[in-house]
């Protein structure tokens, strides 16, 4: 008992306890992270798709991202970004990047769907990351009311309550969501492209993402039943339009009245 008490008072006892605590915390974090990644990486690709994707990558992407996608001064490493990130960036034409700027802009795609899948297959082998979404979450048959609430809470501050997009800082912007495919909407939520935060399954469940997609499909189909959308900016654009129109009428009436008196 006395020997144990003396060991507890050893000067290195506190250091040993600290190291043990750090090792335990790190081990638990590694286990939790591995479980989440394994859940995300549910897509499977053939070896032929991976091989073809590597060839396409070396020919078209390695200049910026480096051989093996390890990254260079012109492009980040792609290890761990997942197949969903490739599908979104390449499938919307944002990659390959046309020019350096505040953010990549959408442009005509340079790869067909099969080639995009092959590139995604190759990048998926570089590390765990968000996989391609399952078809059941892309059918647009969720709850639009729930999706509208989720969208207004999580997305409207950048994309506008009507999903019309909006300006951000330093030349960046949140794009309008009309015309975006359901798959690319889902992939954007799980990968967080450009300035968008990542909404993993802990933030918004796959069912919640399905509801958001359904809401966006619904408002796109409805259009603007109240008349001209005016950018869907609400009372700001409506008030500006009304003020400009009324002011124009007043000026026109004044000009007409003075011409009549002269």
Domains and CATH numbers, the chain: 47-124 (1.10.760.10), 135-224 (1.10.760.10)
Identify each DSSP E strand in the chain by its residue range: 166-167, 173-174
Of 195, 214, 197, the C-alpha closest to 154 is 197
Question: What's phi and psi for 57, nearest 5 deg?
Answer: -65, -45
**Contact predicate 56/159, CB 8 Å:** no
SS3 call for 243? helix
How many whole angstroms separate alpha carbon 40 and alpha carbon 131? Answer: 6
6 has pLDDT over 60: no
Rounded CA gap, 37 and 186, in Å?
17
Binding site membership: which residues? 61, 64-65, 155, 158-159
Nearest-CA neighbor of 144 among 83, 212, 208, 204? 212
Digit-coded pLDDT (tens) for 191-245: 999 889 999 999 999 999 999 999 999 999 987 666 666 665 566 667 777 788 8
Interval 2-19 mean pLDDT = 60
In tens, the pLDDT along 136-191 reads 999 999 999 999 999 999 999 999 888 989 889 888 999 999 999 999 999 999 99
For 249-260, write each residue's pLDDT tens digit. 889 888 888 887
Residue 78: per-residue pLDDT: 96
From the annotation, which residues make up the binding site for heme c?
Answer: 61, 64-65, 155, 158-159
Least confident of 14-18, 115-119, 147-151: 14-18
């Amino acid at each position: 008992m006395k020997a144990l008490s003396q060991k507890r008072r050893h000067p290195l006892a506190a250091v040993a306890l600290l190291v043990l605590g750090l090792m335990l915390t790190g081990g638990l974090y590694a286990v939790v992270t591995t479980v989440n990644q394994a859940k995300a990486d549910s897509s499977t690709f053939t070896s032929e798709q991976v091989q073809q994707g590597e060839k396409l990558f070396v020919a078209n992407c390695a200049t910026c991202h480096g051989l093996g996608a390890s990254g260079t001064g012109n492009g980040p490493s792609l290890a761990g970004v997942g197949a969903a990130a490739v599908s979104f960036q390449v499938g919307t034409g944002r990659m390959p990047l046309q020019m350096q700027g505040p953010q990549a802009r959408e442009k005509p795609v340079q790869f067909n769907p099969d080639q995009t899948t092959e590139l995604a297959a190759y990048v998926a082998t570089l590390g765990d990351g968000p996989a391609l979404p399952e078809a059941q979450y892309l059918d647009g048959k969720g709850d639009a009311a729930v999706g509208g609430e989720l969208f207004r809470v999580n997305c409207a501050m950048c994309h506008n309550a009507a999903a019309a997009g909006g300006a951000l800082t330093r030349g960046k912007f949140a794009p309008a969501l009309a015309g975006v495919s359901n798959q690319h909407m889902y992939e954007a939520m799980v990968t967080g492209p450009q300035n968008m935060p990542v909404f993993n399954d802990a933030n918004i469940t796959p069912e919640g993402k399905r509801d958001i997609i359904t809401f966006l499909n619904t408002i796109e189909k409805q259009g603007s039943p109240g008349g001209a959308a005016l950018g869907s900016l609400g009372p700001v654009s409506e008030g500006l339009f009304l003020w400009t129109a009324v002011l124009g009428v007043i000026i026109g009436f004044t000009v007409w009245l003075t011409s009549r008196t002269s």
